[in-house]
């Protein structure tokens, strides 16, 4: 299974300006909802899950977040990607009392439980590679980001 199969061009947003994580969530949710990929409760559920189980990851040079929620709110599987013009604070996965300034958000919409672990493992492989994250951040199009995952 390749991550590329879950990437949708319309859900890859490059160099977006968002003030906070809610704006990132709303931007990606709106596109997914309009295309019928998610239930209207998806946004509320992502925010609720993030409040209890934060997804900010402190990496070597660039920080990422991997928000997601339960599979019943997803109709068609996807990975949405947002590269942020300016980092946005997220609470850390490994220390929910601390924040990390996130540069890239991978919002997951997965509805098959066996896919979630595999996808998360593959994303971890990408985000642990500073060169790949740097390529993602420098990309100016969804096609360029998709190519990094192929």
pLDDT per position as a tens digit, 62-100: 999 999 999 999 999 999 999 999 999 999 999 999 999
The CA distance from 8 to 27, in Å, is: 14
Percent of the chain with pLDDT over 70: 99
Residue 140 has pLDDT above 90, yes or no: yes
Instruction: Give residue 1's pLDDT band: very low, low, confident or very high (50, 70, 90).
Output: low
Q: Give CA–CA dist 101/24, Å, rounded.
A: 13
Do residues 77 and 7 make contact, with C-beta atoms less than 8 angstroms apart?
A: no
Q: How far apart are CA 47 and CA 143, in angstroms?
A: 28
Mean pLDDT (the chain) is 93
Rounded to whole angstroms, the Cα distance separating 9 from 146 reads 8
Sorted by where each starts, the structural domains of the chain and their CATH numbers stand as: 3-149 (3.40.930.10)
Judge contact between 15 and 24, C-beta under 8 A.
Answer: no
At residue 115 the predicted structure's pLDDT band, cuts being 50, 70 and 90, is: confident
């Amino acid at each position: 299974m390749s991550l590329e199969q879950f990437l949708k061009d319309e859900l890859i947003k490059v160099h977006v300006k968002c003030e906070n994580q809610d704006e990132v969530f709303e931007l990606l949710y709106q596109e997914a909802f309009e295309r019928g990929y998610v239930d209207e409760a998806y946004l509320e559920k992502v925010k609720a899950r993030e409040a209890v189980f934060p997804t900010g990851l402190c990496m070597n040079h660039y920080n990422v977040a991997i928000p997601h929620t339960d599979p019943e709110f997803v109709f068609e599987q996807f990975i949405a990607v947002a590269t942020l013009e300016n980092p946005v604070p997220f609470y850390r996965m490994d220390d929910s009392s601390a924040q990390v300034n996130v540069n890239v958000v991978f919002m997951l919409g997965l509805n098959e439980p066996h896919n979630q672990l595999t996808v998360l493992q593959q994303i971890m492989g990408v985000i642990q590679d500073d060169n790949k994250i740097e390529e993602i951040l420098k990309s100016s199009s969804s096609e360029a980001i998709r190519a990094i995952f192929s």
